[in-house]
Structure 1
Amino acid sequence: MQKIRTSICSRDASELVTLLADVPYIEVVQHAETANKIDTDSVEILLASPDLASQIVERCNNMKWLQSTWAGNAPLLKLSKRNYILTAVKNIFTAQMREYVFTYILHHFRKVEAMKSATDWQAVLPQYLANRTLGIMGAGSIAASLLPVAQAFSMKVIGLNRSGNEHPGYQSMYILEDKQTFAAHCDAIVNLLPDTPLTYHAIDGDFLSAMKPGGVLINAGRGEAIDEAALLHSLQHDKPALAVLDVFRQEPLPTTHPFWRHPKTIITHHTAAISDTTKVAECFIDNAKRYLNGEPLQYQLDFDQGY
């Protein structure tokens, strides 16, 4: 039987080896938790996290296919090497992301912090989601998973993506050039845009100044999408009233960064959705079979578009 000769470079390498051990058409020839322990000359197929893979791919002269263990692959897309197939993992984060997004939308509008700090019977009146507008930046599978929840809360949903093409479940769809109009309609905004040159600082001073005061901004996409200096300035004007930030231009976020102590930010630690090693292995197993059969691979990335 023909086998996929696989190198693994991941902090979960040992667990991935175990999960792949009984797959007859996958042979793990080497595995390591750090990039410097991989013999790059032996790499044909690489199963790896992008931050580690980016340290070695340009020396992997025989590599034909790289299966990423992440949904986002900015560390690889920024490199010049492109003569290989790059596939991501998708559709394994939707449940986690749904919970993350609506945890903080409800946290904001139901006035959780104000109620927590109340010390008398002066009523803190919550706000409701019904008839409010949720704006979603990005129109992939995670964005689609938010739609039924928003609809259950009787929210209106508008979207923003590269093409502006209509998608089921959205009242309207905007393009980046119309981002201020998009922002002006939203009570809550969720950024899920990929990291590409076109999305760099999509959330800038103009975008933020167009927001309704009192809203919430959630960034669960990519850190480069937000102009952090502009956001710090705009928070002074209640645009937004709360910024929930999971991703940043620099990670780990430096301990001296003003976001940590700002009264209108909630900082999470790039934990909105965490890779499930079992599901990553399942994705690779499926794609390995497709690779052997000469079939198109699932979730192949376009290097130019960045997703």
Structure 2
Amino acid sequence: MINVLFSAQPKSWAEYEAPLRAAFTKAGIDAQLGTEFDPADVDYIVYAPSGPVSDFTPFTKLKAVLSLWAGVETMVDNPTLKVPLCRMVDHGLTESMVEWVTGHVLRYHLGMDKFLSGQDGVWRAGTAAPLARDRKVCVLGLGALGAACAQALARLKFEVHGWARSPKAVEGVTCHHGASGLDDALSDADMVALLLPDTPATENVLNARSIALMRRGSFVVNPGRGPLIDDSALIAALDSGQLAHATLDVFRVEPLPKEHPFWAHPKVTVTPHIAAETKATTASEVIAENIRRGEAGEPFLHIVDRAAGY
């Protein structure tokens, strides 16, 4: 029998215990699952950085760390972690992200804000949106989440361009990569959605220079990571009219401090990191499949490239 340690906050254990046990049974995994083991007896750790484990040295039998989080920027540099680290790619989370991104892109495309805030008796004729095919949407980041969002927007007939650090091929999406590719992807974009990981190479990818490449009066949605955007450059672009509005779900500090200028800015919508979250039922299926693979000697899914940071 294998031992699986659940290392996260206590409230997460209450949420995940039953779905994990059900997923293990369905996958035919004979395992002891719990929150307390002798570290020397642990085969797998179901892990969140907010949990009690930060030193993996005592876990001498450990085969893999299976993260409950999609982002791994707080884990990749842990020098005690010597075994494979698998990030969470959860189809439930992916569906949520697609819905959030598509919803806000459509909100901007259709100009809904001016109608929702303008129930004042003024007949705003002549403000119908163009067709989606006449809007360029740029998706920065073409991993599992970014590719899914880009394809959903392409199916709505937006002209979708995507960018990644390395070459990608996504059906229905014009893909760019590298430094020059970033400029091409952003050039004259009407809307930009950020779905990149947080790494030193992606910090402030949206800055004064890159924002200037976008069409004047364009829009930004960021459900990816807070450090992807230079906050000061974003505010300056909103104030100048280069950007019309930004909807931000992630921030450098969370919860977003009350004194942060985003809260009071008339051209910023703040949402409290709700674009997508891991779903216990579907995430448990991903965890169970990776343990099954580990025990069968098959490659793990979603292994993190420590050098790349994701």
TM norm. shorter chain > 0.5? yes
Q: Give the Å deviation of 1:155.
A: 1.2
Q: How does 1:56-95 map to 2 (within 5 A)?
A: 56-62=54-60, 63-92=62-91, 93-95=93-95
Once the two structures are superposed, residues 53-73 of structure 1 have per-residue CA deviations (whole angstroms, 9 ceiling, x without a partner) of 6x5234544243111011111
Q: Give the Å deviation of 1:231.
A: 1.0
Percent sequence identity over aligned pairs: 26
SS of alignment partner, residue 143 of structure 1: helix
SS of alignment partner, residue 70 of structure 1: coil
Q: Give the Å deviation of 1:178.
A: 3.9
Q: TM-score, normalised by structure 2?
A: 0.88
SS of alignment partner, residue 101 of structure 2: helix
Q: TM-score, normalised by structure 1?
A: 0.89
Give distance in 2, aligned partners of 1:165 and 1:185.
Answer: 21
Q: Give the Å deviation of 1:138.
A: 1.1
Q: How does 1:243-262 map to 2 (within 5 A)?
A: 243-262=246-265
Give the counterpart of 2:32 among 3, 6, 27.
27
Once the two structures are superposed, residues 167-215 of structure 1 have per-residue CA deviations (whole angstroms, 9 ceiling, x without a partner) of 3322342323443332223111111111112111111111112221111
Higher relative contact order (CA 8 A, sep 6+): 2
Q: Give the Å deviation of 1:20.
A: 3.2
Give distance in 1, aligned partners of 2:154 and 2:293.
Answer: 37
Aligned position for 1:107: 107
Aligned position for 1:121: 122
Aligned position for 1:167: 170
User: Contact 1:49–1:68 (CA<8 Å) still a contact in 2?
Assistant: yes
User: Contact 1:135–1:158 (CA<8 Å) still a contact in 2?
Assistant: yes
SS of alignment partner, residue 35 of structure 2: strand
SS of alignment partner, residue 169 of structure 1: coil
Q: How does 1:139-154 map to 2 (within 5 A)?
A: 139-154=142-157
Gaps of 5+ in 2: none
- Alpha carbons of structure 1 residues 187 and 84: separation in structure 2 relative to 1, 3 Å: same
Q: Give the Å deviation of 1:41.
A: 5.8
Q: How does 1:1-307 map to 2 (within 5 A)?
A: 3-10=1-8, 11-21=11-21, 23=25, 24-30=29-35, 43-52=42-51, 56-62=54-60, 63-92=62-91, 93-118=93-118, 119-123=120-124, 125-128=127-130, 129-307=132-310
Give distance in 1, aligned partners of 2:149 and 2:129.
Answer: 20
Give distance in 1, aligned partners of 2:38 and 2:129.
Answer: 57
Aligned position for 1:35: none
SS of alignment partner, residue 47 of structure 1: strand
Once the two structures are superposed, residues 249-277 of structure 1 have per-residue CA deviations (whole angstroms, 9 ceiling, x without a partner) of 11111111111111111111111111111
Give distance in 1, aligned partners of 2:227 and 2:123.
Answer: 42
User: Contact 1:176–1:202 (CA<8 Å) still a contact in 2?
Assistant: no
Give distance in 2, aligned partners of 1:131 and 1:143.
Answer: 21
User: Contact 1:134–1:189 (CA<8 Å) still a contact in 2?
Assistant: yes
Name which of structure 1's ranges 171-180 and 131-140 shifts more when overlaid on structure 2: 171-180
- Alpha carbons of structure 1 residues 196 and 236: separation in structure 2 relative to 1, 3 Å: same
Give distance in 1, aligned partners of 2:38 and 2:2.
Answer: 17
Once the two structures are superposed, residues 140-185 of structure 1 have per-residue CA deviations (whole angstroms, 9 ceiling, x without a partner) of 2222223443233321111111124443322342323443332223
Give distance in 2, aligned partners of 1:78 and 1:209.
Answer: 34
- Alpha carbons of structure 1 residues 43 and 190: separation in structure 2 relative to 1, 3 Å: same
Name which of structure 1's ranges 4-13 and 44-53 shifts more when overlaid on structure 2: 44-53
Q: Give the Å deviation of 1:21.
A: 3.3
User: Contact 1:4–1:288 (CA<8 Å) still a contact in 2?
Assistant: no
- Alpha carbons of structure 1 residues 270 and 57: separation in structure 2 relative to 1, 3 Å: farther
SS of alignment partner, residue 14 of structure 1: helix
User: Contact 2:151–2:171 (CA<8 Å) still a contact in 1?
Assistant: no
Give distance in 2, aligned partners of 1:78 and 1:219.
Answer: 25
